[in-house]
Chains A and B, each alone.
Chain A
Amino acid sequence: MKSRNELELMAKDMRRDAYKMAYNSGTKGAHLGGGMSVVEILAVLYGAIMKYDVSNPSWEERDRLIMSKGHGGISLYAALKNVGYLSQEEIDGALHGDSDYYEHPRKNIDKGIEFSGGSLGQGLSFAAGMALGLSKRSNDKSRVYVILGDGECDEGSVWEAAASVIHFGLKQITVIIDLNGLQYDGSTEHIMRLGNMRSRWESIGYDVFEVDGHDVLALQDVFRKESEKPQVVIAHTVKGKGMSFAENRVEWHTAYLTEELYRQALKELEIC
């Protein structure tokens, strides 16, 4: 168990790194909106929940994280740097130029990246395949965490995969839905209504938990819950969280930080 202070400190460090990555990558813009909504989720997973060994990235008993919404890449890099998979130098150059750390992360198991995300609606199928593989190898130690965006749940393939996870009894899977309420063109309610997410997932057979996706202790508690079924954690989040000028703003799906905004974001980070 980690304390609130420890986890919040990690999230703060990750935000600082993410801002720097976004700022360094210039005016082409970075996915700050959906990146910032998953910071605490990733901080808690990497800081308190998941098992992994940075010196042995292919360790059989590691937990696997599938970042289906590759749009959260900036925060995944920040988390991987925080725990030692990536160096400061690697993330400083990320997202632009000849860096291998693309806007949407490319699979690189040695660096803790299990999947090339970004083409939405694909991660849960992949996770189901991994979990099937783990089960067939009688590995009951590893969990598979999959992070989906709420807009991503428009994709029909999410629901193909969702049914198969239950059908195959893959209870080592935890699906995390980053429910920030916005997608590229507008609010999820306006663009494509998701309906009652809790009952959608429950009706297929998941244990569903809802949590404030920015409350590190609440997240830590929910990820420690044990179930006899695959889990869905609906994390209520804020797109662009932490930057007052970007929170809940559609135009911050992808945007760039001017020097002024970069300084403001850092300032807001130190105040909180």
Chain B
Amino acid sequence: MLEISRKNARIWSMLGMRRVVGIMLEELAGSDEHFIFATADLGRYLGAADFEDKYPGQMIDVGIAEQNLIGVSAGMQQEGFHVFAGTYATFVTARALDQIRVNLGYMNLGVKLIGAAGGLSDGNFSPTHMALEDIADIRPIPGIAIISPADGAEVVKAMYALAEYEGPAYLRLTGRANTPVIYTEDYDFKIGKAVCLKEGTEIAFVASGTIVATVQKAAAELEKKGISCKVINMHTIKPLDTQALDELEEFKLLVTVEEHMAAGGMGSAVAEYMGAKAKRPVQQIIAAGHEYPHAGEYEILLETCGLTVDGIVKKVEGRYRELQNGR
């Protein structure tokens, strides 16, 4: 087992999530002869350049053919193999969506999908390589877990957990290299169980992915202004930790933050659950919006979409003051 330590956290942060995946693919392949890493011409990108040499016979590259990637992975899973299938987030989801419905949803085959560049991180290429609808694509399909880790350590924890998880799942990677660090020591990670990173009483933040670190900073800024904030890392978007959400009924404002279109993502999932409650906070969904952003560097895109510390503080404080004035 890889150790969650300050030193490793620093290395994983430097590498970025997709190369942490590469390390974990080797880790899992080494302990399970039935482990298969399948990809659609994106092995090197996922840090698996040496994987095939080290674990011959445990890698399948189908070329640039995502529909086939899903079907082949599902056929192998049915024959008793444990398949992790990875490529770009938007291609591993939207491009092969009906294959995912039939093979992973309907037939319930436990293939684990890995989507690199979830959100805006490769937005310099253009919206073709942004994954801003992937959560919305997968979320309605019955039985597929969706996990969006907050940092490199959580990628490690999530992949160990997924190796033990029977059902199908989608692991969404966000951020580039030098991702922020949330966890420097071991902690309890369970699929479907959110982690409270900070207690508070007035505003509750629920976030997932590398944006969690930004949310932590935004919460600290708001605390300086005298507003008490709770921060929840909702690393599992499906199944949603409804117990954690039940504890938010008394808050004034619930803010969900994600690198995704405003429609259909984690914020929508939270709203679907909270909407049925008689007592609930007002919800503010902070996301990438409703339009495809202009191509650009990651940091610039985050800024344009208001997904920075300042952007979040401004929006949330504004809404909080309105609520204080009864609006």
**A122-135 to B contact mask, C-beta < 8 Å, 1/0:** 10111111111110
How distant is A93 from chain B, measured CB to nearest CB, in Å? Answer: 22
Q: Is B197 an interface residue (CB 8 A)?
A: no
Q: Is A161 an interface residue (CB 8 A)?
A: yes
When the two chains form the complex, which single residue of B72, B79, B98, B101 contacts A164, counting CB atoms closer than 8 Å?
B72
Count how many chain A residues have C-beta atoms less than 8 Å from C-beta atoms of the other chain. 29
Count A-B pairs with CB separation below 8 Å: 88
**A84-127 to B contact mask, C-beta < 8 Å, 1/0:** 00000000000000000000001100000011100101101111
Question: Once the chains are docked, how many angstroms separate the CA of A36 from the CA of B97?
Answer: 31
Chain B interface, DSSP helix/strand/loop, else mixed: helix
Question: Once the chains are docked, how many angstroms separate the CA of A137 from the CA of B76?
Answer: 11
How distant is A24 from chain B, measured CB to nearest CB, in Å? Answer: 25
When the two chains form the complex, which single residue of A132, A133, A137, A164 contacts B65, counting CB atoms closer than 8 Å?
A164
A115: chain B residues at CB < 8 Å are 107
**A27-41 to B contact mask, C-beta < 8 Å, 1/0:** 000000000000000
Question: Once the chains are docked, how many angstroms separate the CA of A126 from the CA of B102?
Answer: 11
With contacts A125-B67, A125-B71, A164-B65 taken as known, whether A132 is within 8 angstroms of B106 at the C-beta atoms is no
A189: chain B residues at CB < 8 Å are none
Determine whether the beta carbon of B71 is less than 8 Å from that of A116.
no
**A153-193 to B contact mask, C-beta < 8 Å, 1/0:** 00011001101100110000000000000000000000000
Q: Is B233 an interface residue (CB 8 A)?
A: no
A131: chain B residues at CB < 8 Å are 75
Determine whether the beta carbon of A133 is less than 8 Å from that of B79.
yes
Determine whether the beta carbon of A129 is less than 8 Å from that of B75.
yes
A164: chain B residues at CB < 8 Å are 62-63, 65, 68, 72
Determine whether the beta carbon of A116 is less than 8 Å from that of B75.
no
Interface residues of B (CB under 8 A from A): 57, 60, 62-63, 65, 67-68, 70-81, 98-99, 101-103, 106-107
For this complex, 19 residue pairs linking A to B, each with C-beta atoms less than 8 Å apart, are A119-B102, A121-B67, A122-B67, A125-B70, A125-B72, A125-B74, A125-B75, A126-B75, A128-B71, A129-B71, A129-B72, A132-B76, A133-B75, A133-B76, A136-B81, A157-B67, A157-B99, A161-B71, A163-B65
